[in-house]
Amino acid sequence: MYHVNEAKILEMEKFYRINLINSLIGYKSLNLLGTVRSDGVSNLCVVSSVFHLGASPALVGLIMRPERAHNDTLKNIKSSTYYTLNNVISTFYKQAHQTSASYPSGVSEFTECGLQEFYIKDFSAPFVLESTVRIGLELQQLIPLTINGTTMVIGKVVEIMTADEILEEDGNLSHTQAGSMTVTGLDSYFIPEFVGRLPYAKP
Amino acid sequence: MYHVNEAKILEMEKFYRINLINSLIGYKSLNLLGTVRSDGVSNLCVVSSVFHLGASPALVGLIMRPERAHNDTLKNIKSSTYYTLNNVISTFYKQAHQTSASYPSGVSEFTECGLQEFYIKDFSAPFVLESTVRIGLELQQLIPLTINGTTMVIGKVVEIMTADEILEEDGNLSHTQAGSMTVTGLDSYFIPEFVGRLPYAKP
C-alpha cells in the first residue's frame, strides 16, 4: 500500500508530483479549445479541465492556467467572447497533444499541428473539422482563482454540431459512436468501452 | 449532420436537454465523495464534476448542485472541512450509481448502497474501502456561482492512498491497473483501454 500525506507531497520532486497530482482524479474530459484573435489568427489548445456546470441554462466550465500559451487563448476568449470545444478522436490525438506545445503568439496551432479549422455563420470562433462532437460557447463569466492564479471560464452552449448517428433518441450523445478519447494525467490517452447504462436511482 | 443553436436548445424537452448537455463534454472523471456529519453519520455521493486545479499546491475542484442530497454533502464539508474522493471500479459501479438517490438526511449511503467506509488517523472523513485510488482533501475555498446557484469547492490534497502496483515510476497513476471507470452524461459507464502515452510537446 502506498500512502502519503501532505508533508510527503510537498517534499516530492517537482515532475513526480505533477504526474501524481494530475492523475489522481482519473479519466478526464478531453477537448480542443478553439479561439480567434481580432486580426483573424486562430488558436487551438488541448484541454482536460472542462466540467459540466448545468443544463438550464446550458453551462460549461473550464480552468485556464496562468501561462503564456493559455494566455493567448484567454485573451481571445475575452476579446471575442466566443470559443469552441471539439472532441479528440484516435485518428488525430497526436496532433491534438501537439497543440500543448508553446508556439509563438500569432502562429496558428491549426496550421502547425495539421488540423483544419472551419467557421459557421454568426459565430466567430473556429471549430475543428476532424472532430465529431463540436460545441460553440459564449463567454458568461471569468472567475480569477486567487488561490493559485488560474482562471475559471464559464460559457453558455450556443451551438452543438455532431453526426446524426452519435445522437441517441433521448438526447444522450454516444461517445463510443463518436470515437471520443479520454486522458489521464498530462499525456496518457485512452478509448473507453461501454459497460452499462443505469436507470435513475431511487432510495 | 445534427446542428442546433441556442434557440433550439432552449426549446428542448427538459430531460432531452439534460441528457444532451450533460453528455457534450465527453468522458468525465468519476469518484465517490465521502463526508461525515458532526454526529458521526457518514455520507457518500457519486460525482462527475471533479477537475484538476494545480499540482503545487495540490488542488482539486468540484461542483456541487443546489440540491438536497448534495446540500448534506456540502454542509458536512463546511462543518468538518475534510472530505474524500475515491475511484469507482466495475465490481461496485452499480452501488456507486445508487448513491445518487435522494436518501433522507441522517441515513448513510455507505450502509444503504452496500459500500464499506474506513477511517485513518487525524482525518475525519470516510474513505471507500472498495476503491483502489483514494484521496483525502482539506477544504480551502467555497465559491458560490451566482450564474446558476451551484458551488465550487476547492480542496487541497492531504492524503493519497493506492496500491503500489498502480503507481508508476514517474508518479503517474495507472487507472487501467486501478480498474477505474469513467462516465458520460448522467448514467453511462465505461472502462477505458490504453492507447498511448505521448512525450512533452515542443514546437
What is the rounded CA–CA span in Å between residue A26 and residue A182?
Answer: 10
Q: Which of B49, B127, B152, B184 is the best residue to mutate to test the A interface, defined by the most A CB atoms within 10 Å of its own CB?
A: B184
- Phi and psi at residue A80, to the nearest 5°: -100, -20
Mind giving me the DSSP string for A90-104? GGGHHHHHHTTS-PP
Is the pTM higher than 0.95? The answer reads yes
- Contact (CB, 8 A) for B191 and B181: yes
Using a CB–CB cutoff of 8 Å, tell me whether B175 touches chain A. Answer: yes
Separation between Cα atoms, residue B61 and residue A150, nearest integer Å: 12
* Secondary structure class of B91 (helix, strand, coil): helix
Residue A4 and residue B98: Cβ atoms within 8 Å? no
Grid coordinates given for B73 = 454533502
What does pLDDT average to in each consecutive run of 10 residues of chain A (203 residues)? 97 98 98 97 97 97 77 92 98 98 93 98 97 98 96 98 98 98 98 97 94
CB contact under 8 A, B173 and A164: no
The domain segmentation of chain B, as residue ranges, is 27-190
Chain B residues closer than 8 Å to A203 by CB: 101-104, 112
Non-local (6+) Cβ contacts of A202 within 8 A are B101, B102
**How many CA atoms does the CB half-sphere of A81 hold within 13 Å?**
7
Contact (CB<8Å) A175/B159: no
Contact between chains at A55 and B195 (C-beta distance less than 8 A):
no
Q: Is B80 on the interface with A (CB under 8 A)?
A: no
Q: Among A38, A35, A60, which residue's Cα sits nearest to residue A125?
A: A35
Partnered with residue A128 across adjacent β-strands are: A117
- The residue whose grid cell reads 468538518 is B80
- Choose among A51, A89, A95: nearest CA to A176: A89
Cell of A136: 460553440
Q: HEC profile for B9-51?
A: HHHCCHHHHHHHHHHCCCCEECEEEEEECCCCCEEEEEECCCE
In chain B (203 residues long), the average pLDDT of successive 10-residue segments reads 97 98 98 97 97 97 77 92 98 98 93 98 97 98 96 98 98 98 98 97 94
What is the structure's pLDDT at B70? 54
**Planar angle of CA A168, A174, A176, nearest 5 degrees:** 145
Residue B157 sits at the chain A interface (C-beta within 8 Å): yes
What percentage of chain B's residues is helix, strand, coil (to nearest 5)?
25, 45, 30
Q: To which H or E segment does residue A88 belong?
A: none
SS3 A80: helix
Mean pLDDT (chain A, rounded): 96
Sign of the Cα pseudo-torsion (B88, B91, B97, B102, in order)? negative
Question: Distance (Å, rounded) from C-alpha B153 to C-alpha A92?
Answer: 34
Q: Class for domain B27-190, per CATH?
A: mainly beta
Q: Is B51 on the interface with A (CB under 8 A)?
A: yes
In chain A, what residues touch B201 (CB-CB under 8 Å)? 97-101
Of B28, B76, B56, nearest to A61 by C-alpha is B28
